[in-house]
Amino acid sequence: MILLILVEVGCAAFIFFDKTWRSDIPIDKTREFDRIYHFLRMNWNICKWVALGVVILQVRNLNEYFRQQ
């Protein structure tokens, strides 16, 4: 579980600090990536709060896991 959270943080840091991250992704012939990217850009405030909530729930569950042991 800790490893998964570290991978998520690493991916988020990569996207945040590397402004050319879109060029690292292979070309998507289905254009599905562009649709998802456009949706996230249009709903960025909601996505930001949902992502924060997911991280808080993961840390909370991780805390519960370590309390039981």
Asked if residue 1 has pLDDT above 80, the reply is no
- The ranges assigned to domains in the chain are 2-68
Residue 45 burial class via C-beta count within 10 angstroms: exposed 0-12, middle 13-18, buried 19 and up:
exposed
Q: No. of H helices and E strands in the chain? A: 4, 0
How confident is the model over 44-53, as pLDDT tens digits? Answer: 999 989 988 9
Classified as helix, coil or strand, 12 is helix
Q: What is the pTM of this model?
A: 0.64
How confident is the model over 6-25, as pLDDT tens digits? Answer: 888 888 888 888 888 888 88
How far is Cα 24 from Cα 34, in angstroms, rounded to an integer? 14
